[in-house]
Structure 1
Amino acid sequence: MKKALSIFMMFVLLLGVLAACGPKEDEDTATDTGTKEEETANKPEKLVVWEDKDKSGWLEKVAADFEAEHGIKIEFQEVEMATKMRDQLRLDGPAGTGPDVVTLPHDQIGQVATEGLIAPLTVSDETIALFSDSSISAQTFDGQLYGLPKSSETPVFIYNKDLMSEPPATMDELFTFSKDFTKGENYGFLALWDNFYFAHGIIGGMGGYVFNNDNGTLDPQNLGLNNEGAIAGTEYIQKWYSEGLFPAGIVGESGGSAMDGLFQEGKVAAVMSGPWAFQPYKDAGINIGMVAMPTLPNGEHVKTFMGVKGYHVSAFSKNQEWATKFVEFMTNDENSKYRYEQHAEVPTNVALIEDPAITENEGAKAVAEQSQYAVPMPNIPEMGEVWKPMADALQTVVTGKAAPKAAMDSAVDQIKQNIEANHSK
């Protein structure tokens, strides 16, 4: 009797244990199934990506890899990035015929974010850590991340190896070389320093700045374009022109083509230009070398402007979560390296800086090194008020029509007026 009772009690206890376990296991199973079903239900059949003109070839492989992993087709279209992408998004986005993912130069981010054309991104700290701090800063506006970097570019020192055996380490050395080399139609070094994009390298390296950077937030009310450093930088620029080291023909809108023509004709030993010039110079038969810019007379590096291209999620996309996943996929280390190998645009992934694909390429190495000293062009809308006043001021300086301080003071006054008129809340 006792034995039978004992067996009965054990059976009851076993039923209790099974009852306790059963619902939990069912609940876990239901949760897993529900998550998978929800993910499948929210998964689009395709994502539409707008890539830059003549730059979509690399996406064939990457799109196929993403589709194989997630079952989502990637449809990519080419739209010219610098001028047409933003305008087309303004039209197609609200109409429901736009893309899920776009690519833009970072200095447009403030404007398109303010207009509500792109969505803030939510990604992990691990993802952010893949990229250089400066390139992530370039993709950030008003404290929010709006994209992930795909590549960067900045001006570097390009020289003709047949005319200059070794690149100078300092601008003082370059100045001395230019004084000796510049005769007739031959010039030692040329730069478009009446153009603020290039002149910022000198002005910034001497201590000037556009907008004060307060812990990652740019203050458009705090301009540093006529401070002591900015004046010193402008005076240094003026020195090259007043000494006759730059020809009068490289001022204004035609300056770039004039400088390129002289270099391609073998009449210039070195220029300050960007990676967009590498191939045209090679095609012209010039034996070019590329390095970071020589250091300034104050011992500081030339603080060039850096442009960062990125991928962004359209605010009109109905699949923003999956679009974000694809942006992360496109910009991971493996795919960023593959994109560089296909299109030669230097990625900002930290892990790739020392990769042989970069270090063994002279141009890519120069851009990567100079990028360490560069600053992202301000991406706030107020930057649009800076370019023309600064160009006007620099041109009056290099043509001897105004002293540096007076020109910079005038430019800052005009910029402040423009910001007040067009951006006051």
Structure 2
Amino acid sequence: MSKRFFSLFVSLLLITALFAGCGSKEETAATAEAPEEETGLPSGDVSLRVWGADEDEELVNQIISGFIKEYGSMANFNITFEAHSESSAKDEILGDVLNAPDVFTFADDQLMALVASGVLKKVENDSEISGRNLAAASDAASVNGTLYAYPLTADNGYFLFYNKAVISDEAVQSMDSLMAAAGAAGQKVFMEMNSGWYMYAFFGNTDMEIGLNDDGISTYCNWNAKYTNITGRDVAEAMAAIGRNPAFTCESNDGFVGGAADGTFAAGVSGIWDENGIKEAWGDNYAACKLPTYTVAGQQVQMSSYAGYKLVGVNSYSKNQAWAAKFADWMTNEQNQTLRFEMRGQGPSNTNASGAGAVAESKAIQALQQQAEYSSLQRVGGTYWDPAANFGTLMSQGNPSGKDVQVLLNEMVTEITGEESTGDLVTEEGEAAPEENKEEATEDVVEEATEETTEETTEEIIEETTTENSEENKQ
């Protein structure tokens, strides 16, 4: 009995062990499959093509190496960098969507076209991405409140550089005192008033408007308005007065940095791309701040600016879309935006990166952040640039022809909008409004600023945007 009982007992143990072994194998198999189920990231061979600026090749390859090191145990990666212009990325991608890259960098004014074409879809972890970036950068990557791209940089704007050995901190508060200080030292203030990108500074903080129509291509503009609190004539005359000042110039044989180095310029309007050159030219006397106010219609108005952002897009037609999104997330995280600043000098959109280390110590970045309150996204059509540049050139020269500035404004606005414009308020029927009704129709007035600057940020026109021929990106 005892032997029979012992044999039965051993048999039961063997059967139990057998079933336990099978269960263990099933658990192991389930565990091995868990990463894809939990992360949505497939294993196996993963190929990604990444487009970026030619100057970014070393940087992006370093970012790729870091990504493979971090996630190499999850898949077999083949990630390649291809140099392409960020300013024309939209045109190249829409020309051949199926052969376009998986991940690409581009200027924010191309966002609407990429969304409308279906190349960009909503970012899945949008709350996380928006939460770690500056609000303005997230807005630039969004259409109607939906995030479609990953913010990468927040530095394509302009502000004032000045030489503290010549210009005091008090003198940079207004254009009048700035030019007076420069002139007293036999030097000049430099600003490309003859460029539509910079000329916006004079109109952007008034109650006149410019932006894209609902078609996302054509431009509306009332910079010749006669009915606003600050009129187009007021701004044009203010610009011409600055242009006639002997301490002002928009021309330089050697560029702003060259003129700063040889003592021609004591101050100038430019961007972060000139920071290293200005540091070298002025040494410890190098300083930067927001743009000054300028005198218009008997008051001081804070100068505005255009702001631009670089974004990272994920091609919705990518065969490895999940990993492409993961790479875009990695490429734009705090660590890699800090690396981008260190290697390329480009200002981060990541909140933590922009407020720490060498980034926080950059006078140019600090000045850009000061100016951000008065900046707007560049949302204009291709018909804007030439007429604006032509008008700005005449004003920078003090309007040497003596032609009535209202006529010049009318010509500029007519070319920009493609519609005849006289600057009069037009009714819904297309007729000029009676004089007594013009004040009632005036939109929100510009806030006066003598010693205090306007607290209102110029509206960021995000919706319906396809900028066909935007002015060359400044970086």
TM-score, length basis structure 2: 0.69
Tell me what 1:243 maps to. 245
Q: What is the root-mean-square deviation in Å for CA atoms of aligned residues?
A: 3.6
Cα distance between partner residues in 1 of 2:127 and 2:321: 19
Shift of 1:310: 0.9
Shift of 1:269: 0.6
Structure 1 residues 153-176: Cα deviation after superposition (integer angstroms, max 9, x where no partner):
211111233333546223332143
Shift of 1:84: 5.3
Relative distance call for 1:344 and 1:261 in structure 2 (3 A) is closer
Are 2:150 and 1:148 equivalent residues in the alignment? yes
Shift of 1:415: 1.8
Tell me what 2:266 maps to. 269
Structure 2 residue identity aligned to 1:103: T
Structure 1 residue identity aligned to 2:393: Q
Cα distance between partner residues in 2 of 1:35 and 1:259: 54
Cα distance between partner residues in 2 of 1:315 and 1:407: 46
Q: What aligned pairs does 1:173-212 form with structure 2 within 5 A after superposition?
A: 173-182=177-186, 186-187=187-188, 189-211=189-211
Relative distance call for 1:221 and 1:201 in structure 2 (3 A) is closer
Q: Which of 388, 392, 395 is equivalent to 2:393?
A: 395
Cα distance between partner residues in 2 of 1:109 and 1:418: 27
Relative distance call for 1:325 and 1:414 in structure 2 (3 A) is same
Structure 2 residue identity aligned to 1:390: A
Cα distance between partner residues in 1 of 2:271 and 2:381: 21
Which SS does the other structure have where 2:104 is aligned? strand
Tell me what 2:435 maps to. none
Structure 2 residue identity aligned to 1:110: M
Relative distance call for 1:106 and 1:207 in structure 2 (3 A) is same
Task: Determine if contact 2:219/2:384 at 8 Å carries over to the other structure.
Answer: no
Q: Which has the higher helix share?
A: 1
Structure 2: tracts of 5 or more residues without a match? 1-25, 421-465, 467-475
Relative distance call for 1:40 and 1:170 in structure 2 (3 A) is closer
Tell me what 1:3 maps to. none
Tell me what 2:434 maps to. none
Tell me what 2:172 maps to. 168
Structure 1 residues 25-67: Cα deviation after superposition (integer angstroms, max 9, x where no partner):
x99x979957736945476523221121222333344323332
Structure 1 residue identity aligned to 2:198: F
Give the paired residue count: 378
Shift of 1:127: 1.8
Q: Which of 288, 291, 298 is equivalent to 1:290?
A: 288
Shift of 1:104: 0.8
Shift of 1:93: 4.0
Q: What aligned pairs does 1:120-159 form with structure 2 within 5 A after superposition?
A: 120-141=122-143, 144-152=146-154, 153-159=156-162
Structure 2 residue identity aligned to 1:384: G
Structure 1 residues 241-260: Cα deviation after superposition (integer angstroms, max 9, x where no partner):
1233334x72xxxx685555
Task: Determine if contact 1:52/1:81 at 8 Å carries over to the other structure.
Answer: yes
Task: Determine if contact 2:52/2:86 at 8 Å carries over to the other structure.
Answer: no
Tell me what 2:55 maps to. 54
Cα distance between partner residues in 1 of 2:54 and 2:304: 29
Cα distance between partner residues in 2 of 1:141 and 1:84: 20
Cα distance between partner residues in 1 of 2:306 and 2:121: 26
Relative distance call for 1:261 and 1:69 in structure 2 (3 A) is closer
Q: What aligned pairs does 1:25-64 form with structure 2 within 5 A after superposition?
A: 33=33, 36=36, 39=40, 41=42, 45-64=46-65
TM-score, length basis structure 1: 0.76
Which SS does the other structure have where 2:265 is aligned? coil
Which SS does the other structure have where 2:310 is aligned? strand
Which SS does the other structure have where 2:173 is aligned? coil
Relative distance call for 1:267 and 1:51 in structure 2 (3 A) is same
Shift of 1:139: 1.8
Relative distance call for 1:169 and 1:118 in structure 2 (3 A) is same
Cα distance between partner residues in 2 of 1:192 and 1:123: 40
